[in-house]
Structure 1
Amino acid sequence: MGFTIIEKISAEEPSERSIEYAVPTRDGFQLATDVYLPEKATAHSAVLVRTPYDKRSFYTGLKFEAEYFTSRGFVFIAQDVRGKYGSTGQTIPYAFDVADAYDTAEWVVKQPWSNGKIGVMGASYYGFTTWAAVASGHPAIQAAIPMVTGVDMGNGHVGGRWRQEVQSFASLNDLLQIWTTNEGYLADIDWSSGSVEEIIAEAREQIGRCVGAEEKLARTKTEDWYSPYGNRHPYHTTQIPVLHWQNWYDPGLAPDGMRDWRHFSSLPGWSNLHYLRVGSADHGGYKLEDVGRGDEANPYLNEAALDAKIQEETAEHADFFDEHLNGRLPLKPRPRAKWHVGHVGWQESDQYPPDATITQFVLSADPSGLHTLGSQAAAPEDLSWTHDPANPVPSSVDMEALWYFVAAYPDERDYVDRADVLTFRTAPLAKNLDFAGQPVLTATVDFEGPTTHVHVRLQDVAPDGTTRRITQGRVALARAIGGSFRLPLDDNAYRVRAGHSLQLQIASSDYPHYAVHPGTGDNLYDIEATAKTVQTLRLGGVSARLEMPTIDLA
């Protein structure tokens, strides 16, 4: 079977401190909304969170965050989005969130405990609902903290641009598990067991129709871009302070979030409204510094870890809202950018990325098969690998662990033994190599088919051989545009310590995190036939090179 239910995720019990309301929408539905009030009976600024993951769940931790916010004098409002848990309406992602956020804000400002000012925040999908609230343009919404998300999350989730973009299968996993009914499911989904359409049909037989998954499949036929904002896209309508909150080890959404930061921080006259905070953690908040502590440090599995996370992060959230809703300036001026360097610590700067020096590493062939990443120009040579859709390069963690990558933190040393993975490695470094920003791979790949995928991993190899991911990137190539590319990898700030080696790996698959290229030019969502293909990397001089934005840290 391709779709196997593991667990149904039902609503949890409410907090004794909350009052539930049914907030009306303009088209006649009700949004289940928990309101937490401070002890002092007066008008307050409100913090609004709109989530599809059950507003009362331990997973979201909102009922715990509420305790902190109310202690700081905020009204805290947690709402189930339309069609999820206590809220009525059809269960479809993205489509209604801009309008529903506006209607909720309109309801909030009419309450006796509201002073007319609202801050919006949330992580992942409810980071998107934060952007949807900003896009709604309601005048009461005056500050926002979108976390581990991206403005155009919806396009990656339900868009269909498989020819231009390497497609994530994580989106289909989410759609079937989260967006089928008003409750949620944890399921084991084997995408290799049949076509995407067959697996969606199998899920439909067991738990019901998933409109989002069906719409995504339909969009792949026409390769449509998807935007839920209409003429209110946040890139062109945002005029309030925003704290962009990301984590480096979130390959699913941090790239989109960092693209958002680059857009807003480049706007003349408006960039001073935007702030950045990026940690060395994964999507779930597990920190690089906690590797080795196991479940004890996982905020989704351990109450003490969740409490510590809330105390640290919610304090920053409340400080931001205090400044921009209540006019309470911090004792120390807020830095424009606060970012963590792995194995070093937090840094502050007036811009991100900071000024850097480009350190170049050239890709060279070595007869041993473990190729060289060095400073010398390469001799002209071609290196080839065969992509077999029936035997793709596996992801180093399973689908769910994509979101908890640092909690899993896999040792990726075994990839060096695969014939369909090219590996380039430096000699052990004589001194620390610190970088911040996007490493860039420039290369030319010839390929047999009309299109192909190139997946790149950048890794840290310890003296004992332990190999840990630093960052990654991917690109879809087409014969019509040629095989030469300049690929910025996903952002990170990291120290490769002295004695360690920097390693680069190139392949054509990363399954099941990403859909497998069929080796043909056909739609990878509905293909029936596949073909092995040979990809060839051209070397010579500095034509294939990795550029690292290195910084000077004491």
Structure 2
Amino acid sequence: MSLAFERVAAQPVPEHARQHMVRMRDGVRLATDVYGAGTEPAPTVLVRLPYDKNSRYVFFEQVAERFTARGYVMVVQDVRGKFRSQGRTLGWTGEVDDGYDTIEWVTHQPWSDGVVGMFGDSYYGFTQWSAVSSQHPALRAIVPRVTCTDVVPGVATVDARAERQPGWLEGADYLAHVWVDNDTYEFEPDLTTRPLIAAYEQAFTAIGKRSAGFDLVVGGIPLAAYNGPHPYDARPVPVLHCVGWFDNLGVAHMRDYTELARRPGWAAVQYLSADSTDHENYFLEHAPVAPETDHMVDDDALTRMLDAYTAPALRFFDVFLKGTEHPDTLPRVRWKLGHVGWRTSTSWPPPGATALDLHLDAPAAAPGPLPGGVLGERPAAQGESVEWRYDPDDLVPSAVANTFMLLHDHPDERPTADRDDVLVFTTPAFETPLDLAGPVRAELHAASTAPTYDLFVRLLDVAPDGTARLVVRGCVQADAPGAWDVDLGHTGYRVRTGHRLALTLASSDFPNHVPNSGSTENPWYTTAPKASLQTLRTGPGQRSRLRLTVLPAASGTGE
């Protein structure tokens, strides 16, 4: 039986946008909308994206209204091979040259004053970094949102200092839907199929085409994203990093910010705006989201979201594109403390933040239901260990099917924490608020009966009524016994009085991640994945611990 699918094509160009087919150096022409071009030259804000420049999903008709009202020309382009643009459909390739050529075209238009900035989320944050790599002199500032510089298609990528990651099934699934040809395809693969690859072969057979990017991911073949210098090594431009504490690319995005903040030249022009949002711009204060606060379906909610979405960029561009404000008027760091509100600081983590280690203890109780083992400030007095199982026929379910919209549902994760194949360690209830402000890491001494095993770590806020909701998460793929450093990203979050923190550890997270084969076999092709037994060790010499960054009580500057 053929898999059912729906093909989604380009929406009409809005009446107040003018579309041009802009020629690249190899003759390929890219569909490019211009909003707000007037008789007087003005600075331009450029967006290059693969999601249909005219769709409600990216809402650029409404975004352009906000930029043009501020005196900017807005240019929005379908990248090569997507929707109305020509060329081969293969993401993460060609964006350096196409970014340069598009900026060059902009600067030769009568409505351009020769100054260009770039804006946008996710892949259209990556195209900004590609343009930085191109080093076009007209590019004066960028505002990358919920994105990162180093992208392996289908993988929330890592730098050389980071551990290997489990296969990100969500990311590969995205490639199979978005990067087939000019259009996108909606279908529901049966992810319980073995081998897993067969679920997508069925979809490609029904569509009659394949996703080249998906095939590269499954084959473990990386793409060289930059044919110029890596952005870190390019000419510095002012950057406003717009980060979501609950974004599924947040770990990688904060690596960009912290790395560039250490680099001469770049450090002077790094700015951070960090909100309690996920990848799709849902807010912690609205989670779980009600219909009246869902901007995907409610126009009033969309208006409110877009005001918050564009405001930091407009202020930033007024400084670095127009020069109407001095850079000193911008806070170097503007960040939201979850459940409290906005703060500003001169650096990140904020001055005065300190490390707090919470040690995993009483591991024998960890496979039980919450509260399980102990997460406490005192290290375990003696060495102990606990085992937990990985069963490919009984995988630990992902908290949400779509982590791009994590806060839309923001579910209670206690049922998962109570599973006997999930370890959980919990603090006592806090008698005063604890403010998290900075990086979070877990150091875990682990081993397995398998040659490869996955460690999925989640930090939960446990309310007095027992509900447990995500604060941060991270994962690594291990291939030996030892101390594994798991980066859980950064956060600004208040653990309120009477609440507890719980750390959970599991070896699967399905369907967000590809189930481990339990062997050296490619997990996409295995028909018989193997079960395994993992061991966590605590105590002297093997101190498994959670490393938080916290603020002193009642610190931070509010707005």
Q: TM-score, normalised by structure 1?
A: 0.94
CA distance in 2, matches of 1:201, 1:91: 18
What percent identity do the matched residue pairs reach?
37
| Correspondence 1:492 to 2:491 | yes
Structure 1 residues 231 and 196: CA distance shift in structure 2, 3 A: farther
| Correspondence 1:122 to 2:120 | yes
| Correspondence 1:323 to 2:324 | no
| Deviation of 1:525 (Å) | 2.4
CA distance in 1, matches of 2:196, 2:33: 37
CA distance in 2, matches of 1:416, 1:80: 43
Among 270, 276, 283, the residue aligned to 2:279? 283
Structure 1 residues 82 and 327: CA distance shift in structure 2, 3 A: same
CA distance in 2, matches of 1:23, 1:365: 64
Spell out structure 1 runs of 4+ moving beyond 6 A. Answer: 158-163
| Correspondence 1:506 to 2:505 | yes
| Deviation of 1:21 (Å) | 0.6
| Deviation of 1:238 (Å) | 3.9
Verify the 8 A CA contact 2:92 2:153 in the aligned structure 1: no
| Correspondence 1:27 to 2:26 | yes
RMSD of aligned alpha carbons: 2.1
Deviations 1:260-295 (A, max 9, x none): 001100012330111111100111111011124513
Alignment-mate amino acid for residue 363 of structure 1: L
Deviations 1:296-334 (A, max 9, x none): 212222211111122233132122112111111159711
Structure 1 residues 492 and 521: CA distance shift in structure 2, 3 A: same
Structure 1 residues 474 and 367: CA distance shift in structure 2, 3 A: closer
CA distance in 2, matches of 1:317, 1:64: 15
Higher mean displacement: 466-475 or 537-546:
537-546
Deviations 1:175-195 (A, max 9, x none): 111011211122212332133
Structure 1 residues 3 and 192: CA distance shift in structure 2, 3 A: farther
Higher mean displacement: 314-323 or 190-199:
190-199
Match of residue 183 from structure 1: 183
Verify the 8 A CA contact 2:157 2:252 in the aligned structure 1: no
| Deviation of 1:359 (Å) | 2.0
| Correspondence 1:546 to 2:542 | no
Verify the 8 A CA contact 1:200 1:213 in the aligned structure 2: no
Alignment-mate amino acid for residue 258 of structure 1: M
Alignment-mate amino acid for residue 87 of structure 2: G
Among 78, 84, 95, the residue aligned to 1:80? 78
Deviations 1:142-162 (A, max 9, x none): 111111110012355498999
Name the SS for the 1:188 alignment partner. Answer: coil
| Deviation of 1:60 (Å) | 0.3
Structure 1 residues 260 and 158: CA distance shift in structure 2, 3 A: closer
Structure 1 residues 158 and 82: CA distance shift in structure 2, 3 A: farther
Name the SS for the 1:491 alignment partner. Answer: strand
Higher mean displacement: 388-397 or 149-158:
149-158
Match of residue 174 from structure 1: 174
Higher mean displacement: 253-262 or 528-537:
528-537
Match of residue 133 from structure 1: 131
Name the SS for the 1:154 alignment partner. Answer: coil
Match of residue 378 from structure 2: 376
CA distance in 2, matches of 1:158, 1:346: 27
Alignment-mate amino acid for residue 378 of structure 2: Q
Structure 1 residues 157 and 443: CA distance shift in structure 2, 3 A: closer
Name the SS for the 2:510 alignment partner. Answer: coil
Match of residue 390 from structure 1: 393
Name the SS for the 1:320 alignment partner. Answer: helix
Name the SS for the 2:101 alignment partner. Answer: helix
Name the SS for the 1:512 alignment partner. Answer: coil
Alignment-mate amino acid for residue 392 of structure 2: P
CA distance in 1, matches of 2:166, 2:501: 25
Name the SS for the 1:301 alignment partner. Answer: coil
Structure 1 residues 2 and 477: CA distance shift in structure 2, 3 A: farther
Structure 1 residues 489 and 364: CA distance shift in structure 2, 3 A: same
Higher mean displacement: 97-106 or 155-164:
155-164
Structure 1 residues 209 and 366: CA distance shift in structure 2, 3 A: closer
Match of residue 463 from structure 2: 462
Match of residue 474 from structure 1: 475
Higher mean displacement: 352-361 or 101-110:
352-361
Q: Which sections of structure 1, spanning at least 5 residues, go unmatched?
A: none
Alignment-mate amino acid for residue 28 of structure 1: G
Alignment-mate amino acid for residue 552 of structure 1: P
Match of residue 243 from structure 1: 240
Higher mean displacement: 8-17 or 64-73:
8-17
Among 59, 62, 87, the residue aligned to 1:89? 87
Match of residue 358 from structure 1: 355
| Deviation of 1:226 (Å) | 3.2
CA distance in 2, matches of 1:332, 1:266: 20
Verify the 8 A CA contact 1:159 1:216 in the aligned structure 2: no
CA distance in 1, matches of 2:363, 2:98: 59
Match of residue 11 from structure 2: 12
CA distance in 1, matches of 2:217, 2:279: 23
Structure 1 residues 366 and 326: CA distance shift in structure 2, 3 A: closer
Name the SS for the 2:276 alignment partner. Answer: strand
Structure 1 residues 225 and 87: CA distance shift in structure 2, 3 A: closer
CA distance in 2, matches of 1:64, 1:544: 49
Higher mean displacement: 74-83 or 286-295:
286-295
CA distance in 1, matches of 2:523, 2:288: 38
Q: TM-score, normalised by structure 2?
A: 0.93
Among 84, 99, 107, the residue aligned to 1:109? 107
| Deviation of 1:165 (Å) | 2.1
Among 227, 230, 248, the residue aligned to 2:227? 230
Structure 1 residues 164 and 114: CA distance shift in structure 2, 3 A: same
Verify the 8 A CA contact 2:163 2:476 in the aligned structure 1: no
Aligned length: 543
| Correspondence 1:483 to 2:482 | yes
CA distance in 2, matches of 1:321, 1:338: 16
Name the SS for the 1:406 alignment partner. Answer: helix
| Deviation of 1:4 (Å) | 4.6
| Deviation of 1:553 (Å) | 4.7
Verify the 8 A CA contact 2:216 2:222 in the aligned structure 1: no
Deviations 1:443-479 (A, max 9, x none): 2112111121111110000011111000111111112
Structure 1 residues 345 and 332: CA distance shift in structure 2, 3 A: farther
Match of residue 447 from structure 1: 448
| Deviation of 1:167 (Å) | 1.6
| Deviation of 1:2 (Å) | 10
Alignment-mate amino acid for residue 43 of structure 1: P
Match of residue 148 from structure 2: 150
CA distance in 2, matches of 1:328, 1:159: 37
Structure 1 residues 292 and 19: CA distance shift in structure 2, 3 A: same
Name the SS for the 2:503 alignment partner. Answer: strand
